[in-house]
Amino acid sequence: MTNYVLKHIFKLEDVINLRDILLKAKTEKDAIPQFNINNLEWAKYILEVCEEEKSPVFLGVSSGAAKYMGGFNVVVGMVNGLKKDLNITVPVMLHLDHATSYELCKSAVDAGFDSIMYDGSKYSYEENIETTNKVKAYLTNNQLLEAEIGKIGGEEDGIASELYFTTLEEAKDFLSKTSIDMLAPALGSVHGIYKGEPNIKLDVMKDIFEETNMPLVLHGGSGIPEETLKKAVENGICKANFNTELQLGWHKDVLEFVENNEEVYDPRKVISSGEQGLKNVAREYIRILGSKGKA
């Protein structure tokens, strides 16, 4: 079995194109975090912590978050500016998260995103395959493509989804009909806060990975216990996505600050009071995934 391991390979000069990041997978087991961004501060804090920890990172941007920030061009300009002004040297993949249409994928590619997730999970299986291929045809060699099969549950960007599990057969069939770089199977993880203990189908994950050799993506990483996350990485997860826990870490500190500093109205002080809370969460996931020091 080939373990997709994301080590050594992240030295910037080695990354001839982004696909190499996934293709040059070696024998150690670790995964790259995807941290979702919501605004300038989020992007800045995440880039700073990844640089400090020498971890490569996918900066996840949902289409709702991109709209909130002004649009795809704003996001690309902002992230490029931050990378330059903050002297970020670790590989940063600006990734469109859960795009539900070809047009959204096209706009993000045109703006300069490095990596695209087309999420056709709400359409029929055949339509999912068709649009995934259409998006693929639009990408250049330097962009990565992620697709989802089954349905990851929970709520993302205010849109609720019922969980629907991916099977090994479906994964094999989908991969025989598409050409993608990462697959997000729905194996029990959900976006947002878990109701009860997360129950991840680690055995199916392992089977899919062993039979297809495809880098797998874990959505809904927040709230999954450390041991399960580690097991998932061992079983084929190469990218794990986190959003909610970063928000919770930030929110806890901001609440405390506001409660103790009611007279402070400077937005820079209010927003940045959550900086350490957010950074601590990101740092912890970098450690758990084993991506610390890999860039």
Residues of this chain that bind ligand 13P (CB under 6 A) = 36, 60, 97-98, 191-192, 219-222, 241-245
Q: How far is the CB of 193 from ligand 13P (least distance, A)?
A: 8
Count of C-beta atoms within a 10 Å radius of residue 16: 11
Q: Which CB, 16 or 159, lies closer to ligand 13P?
A: 159
Of the candidates 190, 156, 160, the one whose C-alpha atom is nearest the C-alpha of residue 64 is: 156
Question: Alpha helices of 216-274 — where are they, by DSSP H?
Answer: 226-234, 244-260, 267-272
Residue count (the chain):
295
Q: How far is the CB of 252 from ligand 13P (least distance, A)?
A: 16
Q: Which CB, 9 or 214, lies closer to ligand 13P?
A: 214
Q: How far is the CB of 242 from ligand 13P (least distance, A)?
A: 4
Q: How far apart are CA 284 and CA 156, in angstroms?
A: 23
Residue 88 contacts by C-beta under 8 Å, 6 or more apart in sequence? 47, 50, 51, 82
Residue 176 contacts by C-beta under 8 Å, 6 or more apart in sequence? none
Q: Which CB, 191 or 201, lies closer to ligand 13P?
A: 191
Q: Which CB, 154 or 290, lies closer to ligand 13P?
A: 154
Q: Which CB, 9 or 282, lies closer to ligand 13P?
A: 282
Interstrand relation of 153-156 and 159-161 (parallel, antiparallel or unpaired): antiparallel
Residue 144 contacts by C-beta under 8 Å, 6 or more apart in sequence? 18, 19, 21, 22, 93, 95, 114, 115, 116, 181, 182
Of the candidates 103, 175, 187, the one whose C-alpha atom is nearest the C-alpha of residue 146 is: 175
- The one-letter code for the residue type at 90 is V
Residues marked active site are found at 97
Of the candidates 255, 289, 270, 221, the one whose C-alpha atom is nearest the C-alpha of residue 36 is: 221
Is the CB of residue 153 less than 8 Å from the CB of residue 194?
Answer: no
Q: How far is the CB of 162 from ligand 13P (least distance, A)?
A: 16
Q: Which CB, 157 or 207, lies closer to ligand 13P?
A: 157
Residue 4 contacts by C-beta under 8 Å, 6 or more apart in sequence? 22, 25, 209, 213, 215, 236, 238
Q: How far is the CB of 117 from ligand 13P (least distance, A)?
A: 8
Q: How far is the CB of 154 from ligand 13P (least distance, A)?
A: 7
